[in-house]
Amino acid sequence: MNTATPGSSDLGTTMERKRKLRVLVAKPGLDGHDRGARIIARGLRDAGFEVIYTGVHQTPEQIVNAAIQEDVDLVGLSCLSGAHLHLFSEVVRQLRAGGAGDITVIGGGIIPEEDIPRLKKAGIKHVFLPGTTIVEIVDWTLKNVRPDSRSDSPGKKAG
C-alpha cells in the first residue's frame, strides 16, 4: 500500500531502497510554533520515510545528539523566529565536529531569500520557503539524499 502524497511519480521509489530513509525533523531555538514542522513530518512519513520529530525548543546539541543516536540520513530544521542563521549553522558545525558531517541538513521556515546563500555556505543543502509543497520536498529528498551511501561511509558506526 502506498500512502504517499498524490501527484508525484517518484514517491514509491523509497520502498525500493535497501532501507527506508531516516529523517529527523527539529525546531531549534525558542520558536514554539511547530504546526508546519509537524505537517512536514507527517507528509514525509506518509511518503514512506522513517521520521523522528524532536519537538520544539531544541538546542543544536540536542538535535545533533538525536541525529547521531537515531542514525538519520537527513535533518530538517524549521525556524520562524529569525534565528536561523545561527541555529542552522550551529547544527551543521556540531554534526561535523561529531563525525556526522555526512548527514544532509535542510532548512525551512520564514527565511529571507537574502539569507539563503549564507545558509548554503554554512552547509545547509537546501532551503524550503513558505508555499513549498510536500511533494516538492519529497522529490528533492529522493533526488539528493542516499541512505545506502551513508551507511557505507568511512567512520560510520555499524549498528
Other C-beta atoms lying within 10 Å of the C-beta of residue 18? 7
In a domain, 2, yes or no: no
For the record, the C-alpha cell of 110 comes out as 520564514
> Within 13 A of 74's CA, how many CA atoms are on the CB side?
26
Q: Print the domain residue range for 33.
A: 21-148
For the record, the C-alpha cell of 21 comes out as 530513509
Integer Cα distance of 43 and 157 in angstroms: 29
Is 0.85 topped by the overall pTM? Answer: no
Integer Cα distance of 21 and 90 in angstroms: 23
In a domain, 46, yes or no: yes
Pairing of strands 104-109, 22-26: unpaired
pLDDT at 155: 43
Integer Cα distance of 85 and 58 in angstroms: 15
Query: How many domains are there within the chain?
Result: 1
Digit-coded pLDDT (tens) for 84-126:
999 999 999 999 999 999 999 999 999 999 999 999 999 999 9
pLDDT at 31: 86
- CATH number of residue 76's parent domain: 3.40.50.280
3 state SS of 101: coil
Digit-coded pLDDT (tens) for 38-59:
999 999 999 999 999 999 999 9
In a domain, 7, yes or no: no
Q: Which residue has the cell 525556524?
A: 79
For the record, the C-alpha cell of 8 comes out as 508525484
In a domain, 105, yes or no: yes
CA 16 to chain centre: 21
Which parts of the chain fold into alpha helices (H)?
Answer: 35-46, 60-69, 84-97, 116-122, 134-144, 147-151
